[in-house]
Amino acid sequence: MTARQILLALALAVAAILSGWLLLREQERNAAPRFTGPPRSDYQLQDFELASYAESGKLAFRLRAPRLSHDDAREAFHVELPVFQFFNSEGSAWNATSRRALISTRSKTVAMRERVRVTQAAQDSGGEFKLETEALDADTSAKKITTNSAVTMRRPGSILQGIGLMADLDTRQFELTSAVRGRFEVHHD
């Protein structure tokens, strides 16, 4: 092989490498954008009612909502405008609503967000109990609810406000964790 043939072969090799590299760059530039949004749901339910049972066979909660989406990647359900009924061990219901909720199928927890309202009908003569917050987490197996957000609890004759809450639905014990303020009214006959 002569020097001229070697130079020609090298020039062709450099041209082939350069054109391949330019072709790859152009292909990457013209590639369709990758989807970065939330994953698509496996399935959706519209205007539904659902009953969830604990491992013991007792009713853990009921749910009614206009829309539910299943997210298999996160092992969760996304719910719009949920209306929950959480049950304590005696079967008494606590009613809860919010704008949205996330139900974890792995941990059996419910995360309610935006305009959360929890009520329970009058027990004896105590009147109706009302709780309001922006975020509330419910552990359906332990029958406990918690939040780190601001909370307002109302009952006839009293209003308690604070930041953070730990509550046991079985014992009906509610503990505000900080910045607690209260207003109490005495009813006279």
**Is 55 part of any domain?**
yes
Residue 58 CA, distance from chain mean position = 23
Q: What is the pLDDT of residue 96?
A: 92
**Is 3 part of any domain?**
no
Q: What span, in angstroms and rounded, lies between the C-alpha atoms of 168 and 145?
A: 7
Q: Which domain holds residue 110?
A: 44-184
Q: What is the pLDDT of residue 32?
A: 61
Domain count, the chain: 1
pLDDT tens sequence for the chain (189 residues): 788 888 888 888 888 888 888 888 777 666 665 555 455 666 788 898 988 887 878 888 899 999 988 887 778 889 999 999 988 777 788 899 999 999 887 777 899 999 999 998 656 556 788 999 999 999 888 889 999 999 999 888 888 999 999 999 888 888 999 888 888 887 666
**Is 13 part of any domain?**
no
Q: What is the CATH number of the domain that holds 120?
A: 2.60.450.10
Q: DSSP for the chain?
A: --HHHHHHHHHHHHHHHHHHHHHHHHHHHTSPPPP-SPPPPS-EEEEEEEEEE-TTSSEEEEEEEEEEEEETTTTEEEEES-EEEEE-TT--EEEEE-SEEEEETTTTEEEEEEEEEEEEPPPTTS--EEEEEEEEEEETTTTEEEEEEEEEEEETTEEEEEEEEEEETTTTEEEEEEEEEEEE-PPP-
**Is 12 part of any domain?**
no
Q: What is the pTM of this model?
A: 0.69
